[in-house]
Amino acid sequence: MTVIPQVHPASGDRPRHRRLSRTVAATVVAASTGLALFSVAASAAPATGSDARQRQFAAAAAEFKVPQSVLLALAYQQTRWESHNGEPSTTGNYNVMGLTQVDPSELVSTEGGHQHGQGDGLPEPAAPAATTPAPKPQDSPALHTLDEAAALLGRPADQLRTDPAQSIRGGAALLAKYQRETGGSLGTGPETWYNAVVRFSQTAPAAGGNVFADRVFETVREGAARITVDGQAVSLAADAALTVDRPLQSRAATPGNLECPATVSCTGAWADDANYAVTNRPADGQKIQYIVIHDTEGSWDGTISTFKNPATEASAHYLVGAGGTHDGQVAQLVNTKNTAWHAGNKTFNMHSIGLEHEGYALGQNANKQPTWYTEQLYRSSAELTKFLAGKYGIPLDRQHIIGHDEIPKPIDSVPPMHWDPGTFWDWSHYMDLAGAPVRAAAGGSLLVGGKVTIAPPFDANNQPPVAETGPRPQNFVYLRQSPDGAAALINGGTTAASDVRAKAVAGSSYVVAAQQGDWTAIWYDGVQGWFHNPNGQSAAADNRRGQNVATPRAGVASIPLYGRAYPEQAAYAKYPGVTYNPTSHNPVPLNVSVPAGQKYTLLSDTPVKGDIFYDVNGVQAVVTGDDTYYPVRYGHRLGFLKSTDVDLTVATVPPAAGYTPVGPKRLMDTREGLGGSTRLGGAGTASLQVTGGNTGVPADATAVILNVTAVSPSQGGYVTVYPDGQPRPVASNLNFTAGQIVPNLVVVPVVNGKVNFFNAAGTVDLLADITGYYSPSGSSKFTSAGPARLLDTRSSGAVGPNSSVTLQVSGREGVPADATGVILNVTVTEPSTTGFLTVYPHGTSRPGVSNLNFTPGQTVPNLVMVPLVDGKVDFYNPAGTVQVIADITGYYSPGGSSKFTSAGPTRLLDTREGLGGSTRLGPDGVATLQVAGKAGLPDSGVTAVVLNVTSVNGSSPGYVTVYPDGTPRPEVSNLNFLANQVIPNLVVVPVVNGKVNFFNKAGTIDLIADITGYYTAG
């Protein structure tokens, strides 16, 4: 919520701090609740399983003769298909369809308990008296869409609150009713349902109903897919060609005096000019650098009334509504060139824009604590944030799009700062909508001295306890004194919602202090704070190159932290009529010391000059000094370090590395205990030393190339290979059924000189054969080639039993004579019997390993990275006959163009959830994946990527080809599969336009792509 800490132009240089008076502070707006938010599932008969909600949508659409695509899209725009366990939103919406049930008598309540006034340290004045009567709550049909739907179904309202299936049926029944009321017919195509969707919003077309309907039909055109918090997989296929009848009045154009994007419904509700400073930002020198997210702790009408009260001395620039006729509506309260008093910290007020959101950080009362903000509020706010960030050049990241809870005290003497928007504000979703996902640049190994981005899932996997609420998704992780779930929280922190002393919130960035398996420690508020990070679900490395971090300068034991960036005293003398006031202008630090050796992330590599907006007795000036400060993220809240107090160091990242061939050489065989491990049991992990000793791999190796083979698994399962000392990723490198022999090539980063092997279920033996490694001293670099076919025995004759074929590689497709290794996509087809194929350097002893295993008649591809001897490689077939195809994708040589950097494993594509921007592929379907700028990859200069690509749940036999964007698709396959098979394969693919493409030949298929490294020129 907004704090009241600012200088009144007529009151000298004394900030006034007042408590906001909210007479309407209940969860729901008095006038009405806009778009109903819907719960999941809709069928008369109970449906179970992960697709239950999908089937409930289909059943409800058929029952009420509404287009299934419209019903799905409408619910997606209401709740993203979430049931929220039947708990209400901050404005009284329930379940999958977001239907409303609000008692108007509950709309009048006193303000919540967490708000307070803040400023520059002067005493807080008494709460302002209301100058006009508070708006009276009004009942409205928009508050009772749940009751209306229950009546249509003839079912108790409680069922629609708590049962996703009945919520979906109720939403479908309402939509059908509105279709008839707006003159439409049931059973017609989606293009005729626009008016009914507008009516569903409970908002007039020009006042926001058309905005909602446009978003719904945009979802129909684009499609959507996700897995809900309660484990329901729901998808909507794209209908890109859909055109919609829009006979109703178009939404009103934004008036010229409003600063809003055209994609939201915007109105003016101007605050009294006694509640903000009249300035001329940024032309007057007050650069706008932040957007601050607040919640109102009250209603739309009550908030506007408060800011129109001249005695309040507080304001924000915008208010975003939730529920009723204001759901997703934006009101501008203060022009952005003026300085609203919202943050409780003058430095941040000067350099930010404040966005209030209708809702509550904790709850309206003890009985009805909400658990979610409405989807339309999120979407309109994110559109507004994108618009403002573009207008003022504000970086779209969580270091500049911040919560009120992240604003520091300006000085120690002020009361505790606010903590809105609270622990259930979904930062990850919000930043997705703003076009800047918190994990967009994250991926790779977590390295001490490197940066890490906090990014817990906002679902059932992240429900840390909060004292005042039951279990629910939260936006933070707790920080503990040691890597133990039973350890005490750091800094005396508690589980109270308002206590931010041991909470690291989604999107925030810190420096890694230590790493131990599933636990990561960060520098936080002067100490090491440990958080649990299983499978990397809570945070990810930010391994972008060239990022600076701040540490106390050499030779000092500690340095001070500042809560505001004020100029030095001498600066005031430069401005006529300006007088330095030691009480309110002194740039005094907080009572906080930053110990030597600790490191903190910068909000900007360029220090800011200390400044203050001076407004005393008619004299106005932006006083700017010579002292400069680095804005940093110190703990949960931000802070400032004087530039003269710090040294900047570059955050640790994996180094670029060259290739060195080795082997093939067996490092692990659990059948014989080679490598120190025996047969792995279910959920078992083997750690393998891959550097030093007789491995032939130096200690500075950054990644190794292993051919890993699963032998005699007792049941179906998978194996994951990942760096030692790191969280195990949610990726598989080998998938198998009972009794299979399955090999796959793996490029895995090396940490602590080791890599780990995890077996998910049953028992299995594992073999690991090294064929090369990457290190800073590696002399060979990568060059893309092809894909081009070098071998196809179908034209020369099949390879017979116990026979070898030699392939000349150098001198073809640009491969030089001094090439040290080659990357081949090798495919076997038409085998006459069960067997295997071994690929190895020409003229060397044939290793006892397989690169491909197959059964009669099968077509199987696999990637091979093999050293070259005399420019050649050999292919050996032990039994039967088989056709062999080999396509080159690249090679290594001393004169190569690109070095390798490890970056993962990090998931970039999962069509089951829409990750990467694509959904399930149909026949002849193509998915395009942006890789540059993701997972720590640079925005430009990436020449190729190493991906572990997995096909899942294919509807029929088929194949997938991975190839560079903007190039003709080659006639090769990277994965071949049968119906319902799970098949992974490593792919090295050149990058064009920062992207790669995935082509599916037949049937439908889901695809997963996990990056393990990339190549850049140099």
User: Does residue 254 have a pLDDT over 90?
Assistant: no
396-399-403 Cα angle (round to 5) = 95
Residues with Cβ within 8 Å of residue 762, at least 6 apart in sequence = 681, 682, 713, 714, 715, 716, 717, 738
**Position 124 pLDDT exceeds 90:** no
pLDDT exceeds cutoff 80 at 368: no
191 backbone dihedrals φ, ψ, rounded to 5°: -65, -15
- Domain 897-1017, CATH 2.60.120.340 — does that match? yes
Confidence of residue 44 (pLDDT cuts 50, 70, 90): very low
| 187: pLDDT strictly greater than 90 | yes
Lowest mean pLDDT among 258-267, 430-439, 908-917, 946-955: 908-917
- Pseudo-torsion of CA 429, 433, 435, 439, nearest 10°? 10
> What is the mean predicted confidence (pLDDT) over 383-408?
98
Least confident of 2-16, 490-504, 518-532, 684-698: 2-16
For the ranges 33-37, 91-95, 290-294, 616-620, the one whose mean pLDDT is highest? 290-294
What length does the chain have? 1018
Q: Higher-confidence residue: 22 or 291?
A: 291
Q: Which of 242-256, 378-392, 843-857, 913-927 has the highest mean pLDDT?
A: 378-392
Report the percent of the chain where pLDDT is more than 70: 90
Confidence of residue 105 (pLDDT cuts 50, 70, 90): low
pLDDT of residue 411 exceeding 60, the answer is: yes
Q: Indicate whether 486 pLDDT > 80.
A: yes
Helix 209-222 × helix 375-392 angle, to 10°: 90
Share of the chain above pLDDT 90, in %: 78
**Cβ neighbourhood burial of 955 (10 Å; 0-12, 13-18, 19+):** middle
Amino acid at 190: P
Diameter over CA atoms, the chain: 98
CATH architecture for the domain at 450-543: Roll (2.30)
Q: Using the predicted structure, report yes or no on whether residue 5 has a pLDDT greater than 60.
A: no
pLDDT at residue 29 tops 60: no
pLDDT in tens, 339-361: 999 999 999 999 999 999 999 88
Q: How confident is the model at residue 204 (pLDDT cuts 50, 70, 90)?
A: confident
Domain boundaries 51-102+137-236, corresponding CATH code: 1.10.530
pLDDT band at 440 (very low <50, low <70, confident <90, very high): confident
- pLDDT on residue 38: 25
Q: Cα(205)–Cα(159) distance, rounded to whole angstroms?
A: 31
b vs e for 241-260, b when ≥16 Cβ sit within 10 Å of the residue's Cβ?
Answer: eeebebebeebeebeeeebb
Q: Which of 125-139, 188-202, 954-968 has the lowest mean pLDDT?
A: 125-139
Mean pLDDT rounded to a whole number for the chain:
89
pLDDT value at residue 253: 57
Residue 369's pLDDT is 67
Assess contact for 144 and 102: CB atoms under 8 A.
yes
How many Å apart are CA 113 and CA 110, to the nearest integer?
Answer: 9
Look at residues 159, 209, 251, 193 and name the one whose alpha carbon lies nearest to residue 35: 209
What pLDDT digit, counting tens, does each position of 517-568 carry? Answer: 999 999 999 999 999 999 899 999 999 999 999 999 999 999 999 999 999 9
Q: Are 915 and 850 in contact (CB under 8 A)?
A: no
Confidence of residue 130 (pLDDT cuts 50, 70, 90): low
Residue 123: predicted pLDDT: 54
Q: Quick: pLDDT tens for 141-150.
A: 888 999 999 9
Residue 39 banded pLDDT, cuts 50, 70, 90: very low
Domains 658-775 and 897-1017 share a fold: yes
> What distance in Å separates the CA atoms of residue 957 and residue 123, rounded to the nearest whole number?
74
Q: What is the DSSP string of 259-327?
A: ---TTS-EEE-PPPGGGEE---TTTTS----EEEE---SS-HHHHHHHHH-TTS----SEEE--SGGGT
Closest CA to 657 of 785, 769, 749: 749
Instruction: State the pLDDT at residue 278.
Output: 95
971 Cβ contact partners less than 8 Å away, ≥ 6 residues apart: none
Domain ranges of the chain: 51-102+137-236, 266-434, 450-543, 552-650, 658-775, 897-1017
Residue 109 is predicted with a pLDDT of: 38
Domain 658-775 in this protein, CATH class: mainly beta
At 24 the pLDDT is 29
Please give the average per-residue pLDDT across 279-305, as a whole number.
Answer: 95
Query: Residue 960 pLDDT > 50, yes or no?
Result: yes
Hey, how many other C-beta atoms are within 10 angstroms of the C-beta on 185? 10
Give the separation between CA 287 and CA 731, rounded to whole angstroms.
44
CATH of domain 266-434: 3.40.80.10
Can you give the pLDDT at residue 365? 45
Is the pLDDT at 11 greater than 80? The verdict is: no
- What phi, psi does 740 have (nearest 5°)? -75, 155
